[in-house]
Amino acid sequence: MSLPAAFHDIAKRVNNWGRWGSEDEIGTLNLITDEVVRRAAAEVRTGLRVPLALPLRHDGVQTGLIPGRVNPLHAMTQINQEIFGPGAVACSDDAVTMGLQAATHWDALTHVSHSGLLYNGRPAATITPHTGAEFSGIDKARHIVSRGVLLDVARALGTDRLDGAHAVTPEDLDAAEELAGTRVRAGDIVLVRTGQVQVYLAGKREAYGHPSPGLSIRTPEWFHARDVAAVANDTLTFEIFPPEIEDLWLPVHALHLVEMGMLQGQNWNLEKLSTACGEVGRYSFLLSAMPEPFVGATGTPVAPVALL
Amino acid sequence: MSLPAAFHDIAKRVNNWGRWGSEDEIGTLNLITDEVVRRAAAEVRTGLRVPLALPLRHDGVQTGLIPGRVNPLHAMTQINQEIFGPGAVACSDDAVTMGLQAATHWDALTHVSHSGLLYNGRPAATITPHTGAEFSGIDKARHIVSRGVLLDVARALGTDRLDGAHAVTPEDLDAAEELAGTRVRAGDIVLVRTGQVQVYLAGKREAYGHPSPGLSIRTPEWFHARDVAAVANDTLTFEIFPPEIEDLWLPVHALHLVEMGMLQGQNWNLEKLSTACGEVGRYSFLLSAMPEPFVGATGTPVAPVALL
Amino acid sequence: MSLPAAFHDIAKRVNNWGRWGSEDEIGTLNLITDEVVRRAAAEVRTGLRVPLALPLRHDGVQTGLIPGRVNPLHAMTQINQEIFGPGAVACSDDAVTMGLQAATHWDALTHVSHSGLLYNGRPAATITPHTGAEFSGIDKARHIVSRGVLLDVARALGTDRLDGAHAVTPEDLDAAEELAGTRVRAGDIVLVRTGQVQVYLAGKREAYGHPSPGLSIRTPEWFHARDVAAVANDTLTFEIFPPEIEDLWLPVHALHLVEMGMLQGQNWNLEKLSTACGEVGRYSFLLSAMPEPFVGATGTPVAPVALL
Amino acid sequence: MSLPAAFHDIAKRVNNWGRWGSEDEIGTLNLITDEVVRRAAAEVRTGLRVPLALPLRHDGVQTGLIPGRVNPLHAMTQINQEIFGPGAVACSDDAVTMGLQAATHWDALTHVSHSGLLYNGRPAATITPHTGAEFSGIDKARHIVSRGVLLDVARALGTDRLDGAHAVTPEDLDAAEELAGTRVRAGDIVLVRTGQVQVYLAGKREAYGHPSPGLSIRTPEWFHARDVAAVANDTLTFEIFPPEIEDLWLPVHALHLVEMGMLQGQNWNLEKLSTACGEVGRYSFLLSAMPEPFVGATGTPVAPVALL
């Protein structure tokens, strides 16, 4: 089995290898210039802050399908411990074990490979158990703050939540962009709302995962044309799942991460942001979504915040 | 043993219990209003982004002194795994175990208690192994974005790094504020630079911890007078260590977290921020420092970013 | 709510507090004397070794019901790493995170408390997050080797697997003892086979947990009368679940661990042992079931072996 | 760099590949026959049980040198939690994270490779992050019970503890065997006492690791000649460290695990066993040292017990 021509045709059109030099490790994050950030800051008008992470808890979005992708196991290692003697100030401490892709997260560019290669043509074998990803680990992506634009596809299509079989198309993105009233431009971070996270919020953890609406294989070209810096949405699988083309699994992952060098985020809770944007009548904002700098990691939990 | 009168006198003067109602769980974070955030966004002039977290790695700042406070153990759980069959897109995943107070972090208000009580007079026993902190867990502190002000005490005192025995005093903060050229005001997040993190960056992990410069017991009143929302610095212990007053351990922790209900951060790398502020000639900025929302946790790693 | 008279009546009859002194931390393990071990060794006649632990894997018997009781998360931290240079001997290492009661395990005497008390009348509050169980941690139970007797209740009752609603009674134990052809005596470790583990082995992880056959509240008196050293079986809950008496949860746990000071084991795979005993026509053997000595822990994975 | 002729010469002489068939995954464990076990059981004369594992604790033998090899991080996940309502039986649970080679442990045959190969000529690449060791994982080594023989080299050489520069030679083993008064035979598990673990027990954790006495590169031939089933000792590195031959690291590991297919164990506490053997005047016993069956793992903690 190898990837079909349908994939390779798109890959050729969106490929960014070498665009920022052969040494580059951060891909489209290069598009977030100081100028972009300055203009993004100008989006803050109400001072409203909307956090976009799901709470980190043992009954998170993972249901055991992927071996190492475990929900956070939080444990208190000290509780009101008078470590300096009786009557002294007492300390509480905790520790956690979790999969780095288990909750609201960023995929690093190294999260997937295809044909033995990673972004910018680096060998997949540069990821090792000893040091993780030698190139393009999530610790290299240190400055993820830019203008965010909510493309509220569900609302644009007049529904609260897209159907599990709905592949989000470029036309859907166009419609949501029109609703947003702003044109997506170079360096923007796009948040695509399907409404699917409501299934998890309603306690239906198994059903949240799949079938799931998500991005169509046709959307990477849309993002490429606009020179988007990163894309996140409110689903577990990010792209439509099961996939549109039989036996072509995770094509959007491969196009975004490997070909374009564009970070993507999953399990973002965009419900309150949708409400807020609807109320203020604007769908753009300053978005801060800094990765935890795990050295050599292929993903990270993230606690994004939108400032409207 | 109980806490001395010297402590209780200050405690009385800075206490915020009931100030935001008996149900409040976030203390001085209430001071970050929409208006504060709007004005903070106006601080973004160059578009420069300065990340403030130390890399998360196995040889982090912990040296084994505190049982559960372990450096990040990062492990790849999949490497280029063709989970959908040979030739398919291949996935890499990872997992981590770490102490929540092990790296660049926020202490939740529940990180310490004294005399059996937590912030707002809640019983220390409301922290349990089962659910962690019932009140004031770090997941309640969801919106930590505000104006940041760097009080570069080391620079203000004409040195690169304060001596291990240097307790940062209110007078030191005044000097740094004068250098900063802006008055600290209600809702600001103050970053106090001692330069101590240079010791860790130079590979001297044991020496970084102590003796360490840090805040004097006299500084909480300064922060209280200015109605600061949160304080972070570049040391392991936050306050001067060993302490100024014999057998009075962690008094600043108890005053900030329990009495004032003010979050504090440790192990922040302020070196590049110091350079940047010096170069642009401004020490205020938009600071985004969102906690990872671990439910019931008494601390969290954080990846702060300053936008100048 | 408090425990009913039905419980307290039995508790009074089986209580062993003080029997081995007020300092004792191991309860009925005191019954395993050197003499008992010598006679146990004489049970080894064929040299056959039957391991009784389920494999430790991510899809183990836990299904997420109990927050911290997580299946083993196994991760390679090094794979063929040439840590001493290219061409040198290469090393592979791994790490694991798991609940100590997640797999085939022993409960320590401190695994449950009732009415604020642990075995031998110690306060439940002697278990702390900082040090775990101050008394009767699993590390105190260092010598669990004795004669084992398989009470194959399923076979004695002419079935392969007891029904989910079957509470194993003293009469059932009598029948199995008769089948075994040996009288259970002081210091023996009794393994009670229900056949329930077959459900897990067939891949029905949810169904394995409950409804589940298991020990009746009437059995602790049987074990007490015979002065058994420990009891293990092939279920998740150990005792019949849901319980026989409405709203009386885990009474057998409380009677065994707290009142009698008798260790109990769960999720033991007794299928091959049943076959072997049937073939050799003997149900007694030397049993080695050494706890991993986690200091202060209230349970431990165990890899028991029967030598026939 | 490649392994020197000195290594390959010995490798040729001790190689067991194919000896138990090309499918074999357990090597010299094949030598433990039912007959061996029956005779081993006959060694139990006093009924004395001597546990050989070091306590599992956060300040264990690891000092941070090897990234993933972390001491046990034990955390209570529930303490006296009344999960079924107030007044009910209360539960305590715990979880652990640890390196599988961090404490008293067995190395699986797959713990090291050389020249790209594992035991029985299998490719080193059969170890993957996804499934661990496809062949010869520790879960395959399910029946480690046999006759144990303590070769008390320290005592045989008239000292309490061998010097850090002492490489244990075949001649040393001969002397210890003479002291033991029994000839090591096929299927035996040999425990070699250097006394080095005393350094750890005295709290000198750094000094315990190295310089350390340990097995000489000349000993694998001795074990091979006697057809030993497995070898363990009381050091961190197992073999003399730093090594006898410059730049030839871990040759004994490679000879035992890869060439012979013989399991080896480290950090075993042989002090009390030495005392007991001296007192009863016998150095052979029944040894039970069952691995925890972590699927695909390259090592496991073990809680061995000697029955004299």
Q: Which tens digit of pLDDT belongs to each residue from C184-227?
A: 999 999 999 999 999 999 999 999 999 999 999 999 999 999 99
Residues of A in contact with B87 (CB under 8 A): 1-3
B129 shares contact with chain D (CB less than 8 Å): yes
Nearest to A95 among D75, D129, D130 (CB): D75
Q: How far apart are CA B36 and CA C274, in angstroms?
A: 72
Q: What is the mean pLDDT of residues B30-39?
A: 98
Among candidate residues C58, C74, C101, C56, the one with its CA nearest the CA of residue C236: C101
What pairing do the DSSP bridges indicate for beta strands D167-168 and D132-133?
A: unpaired
What pairing do the DSSP bridges indicate for beta strands C49-51 and D105-107?
A: unpaired
Q: How far apart are CA B31 and CA B38, in angstroms?
A: 13
- Confidence (pLDDT) at A44: 98
Question: Among residues of chain D, what percentage have pLDDT more than 90?
Answer: 95
Non-local CB neighbours of D305 within 8 Å, separated by 6+ positions: C143, C145, C288, C290, D49, D50, D51, D52, D287, D288, D289
The Cα-based distances of C43 to B103, C36, C47, C155, C308 in angstroms read 55, 11, 10, 22, 6
ipTM over 0.85: yes
The angle that helices C5-14 and C219-226 make with each other, rounded to 10 degrees, is: 10
Dihedral, A243, A248, A249, A255 alpha carbons, nearest 10: -100
D85 shares contact with chain B (CB less than 8 Å): no
* The two three-digit tokens of residue A188, written as one number: 């923007």
Band of residue D65 on the pLDDT scale cut at 50, 70, 90: confident
What is the CB-side half-sphere exposure of residue A149 using CA atoms within 13 A? 25
Nearest to B78 among D63, D78, D129 (CB): D129
Q: How far apart are CA C297 and CA C263, in angstroms?
A: 13
**8 A C-beta contact, residue D216 and residue D233:** no
pTM to 2 decimal places:
0.94
- Confidence (pLDDT) at B60: 96
- Inspect the interface and report whether the beta carbons of D38 and C45 lie closer than 8 Å: yes
- Inspect the interface and report whether the beta carbons of B68 and D76 lie closer than 8 Å: no
Residues of A in contact with C79 (CB under 8 A): 128-130
B131 shares contact with chain D (CB less than 8 Å): no
User: Contact partners of D by the rule of 3+ C-beta pairs under 8 A?
Assistant: A, B, C
Nearest to A295 among B57, B98, B116 (CB): B57
Q: Is pLDDT at D64 greater than 90 in this prediction?
A: no
Q: How far apart are CA A237 and CA C96, in angstroms?
A: 27
Nearest to D97 among B63, B73, B128 (CB): B73
B132 shares contact with chain A (CB less than 8 Å): yes
Q: What angle do CA D287, D290, D294 make, to 5 degrees?
A: 165
C77 shares contact with chain A (CB less than 8 Å): yes
* The two three-digit tokens of residue A168, written as one number: 């989000």
Non-local CB neighbours of C41 within 8 Å, separated by 6+ positions: C286, D41, D42, D44, D47, D286, D307
* The two three-digit tokens of residue B18, written as one number: 């009931």
B66 shares contact with chain C (CB less than 8 Å): no
Nearest to C75 among B67, B95, B129 (CB): B95
Task: Answer positive or negative: Cα dihedral of B52, B58, B59, B65.
Answer: positive
- Inspect the interface and report whether the beta carbons of A77 and C128 lie closer than 8 Å: no
Non-local CB neighbours of D224 within 8 Å, separated by 6+ positions: D13, D14, D260
The angle that helices D5-14 and D219-226 make with each other, rounded to 10 degrees, is: 10
Dihedral, B106, B108, B111, B116 alpha carbons, nearest 10: 160
Q: What is the mean pLDDT of residues A8-21?
A: 98
Residue with tokens 């309860």: C27
Q: Is pLDDT at D1 greater than 80 in this prediction?
A: no
Question: Among residues of chain B, what percentage have pLDDT more than 70?
Answer: 100
pLDDT digits (tens, 9 = 90+) for B262-280: 999 999 999 999 999 999 9
Q: What is the mean pLDDT of residues D231-238?
A: 98
Q: How far apart are CA C58 and CA A219, in angstroms?
A: 35
Band of residue A63 on the pLDDT scale cut at 50, 70, 90: very high
Q: Is pLDDT at A222 greater than 60 in this prediction?
A: yes
- Inspect the interface and report whether the beta carbons of B295 and A55 lie closer than 8 Å: yes
Q: Phi and psi at residue B50, in whole multiples of 5°?
A: -120, 110
Non-local CB neighbours of C19 within 8 Å, separated by 6+ positions: none
Q: Is pLDDT at A265 greater than 80 in this prediction?
A: yes
* The two three-digit tokens of residue C308, written as one number: 């026939």
**Residue of chain B whose Cα is closest to the Cα of D68:** B73
Q: How far apart are CA B46 and CA B280, in angstroms?
A: 9
Residues of A in contact with C81 (CB under 8 A): 128-130
Q: What is the mean pLDDT of residues D119-136?
A: 96
Q: Is pLDDT at D238 greater than 80 in this prediction?
A: yes
Q: What is the mean pLDDT of residues A110-138?
A: 96
Band of residue A37 on the pLDDT scale cut at 50, 70, 90: very high
Residues of C in contact with B132 (CB under 8 A): none
Q: Is pLDDT at D56 greater than 90 in this prediction?
A: yes
Q: What is the mean pLDDT of residues D105-121?
A: 98
Cα-trace Rg, chain D: 20
Q: For residue B46, what is the DSSP state?
A: S
Q: How far apart are CA B79 and CA A296, in angstroms?
A: 12
Q: How far apart are CA B31 and CA A198, in angstroms?
A: 32
**8 A C-beta contact, residue D215 and residue D252:** yes
Q: Is pLDDT at B59 greater than 60 in this prediction?
A: yes
Q: How far apart are CA A220 and CA A233, in angstroms?
A: 14
D97 shares contact with chain A (CB less than 8 Å): yes
- Inspect the interface and report whether the beta carbons of B88 and A297 lie closer than 8 Å: no
Task: Answer positive or negative: Cα dihedral of B141, B147, B153, B158.
Answer: positive
B128 shares contact with chain A (CB less than 8 Å): yes
Residues of chain C with pLDDT under 70: 1
- Confidence (pLDDT) at B180: 98
Nearest to C78 among A73, A75, A129 (CB): A129
Q: Domain B5-66+100-307 in CATH: superfamily?
A: Putative cyclase (3.50.30.50)
Q: What is the mean pLDDT of residues D279-292?
A: 98
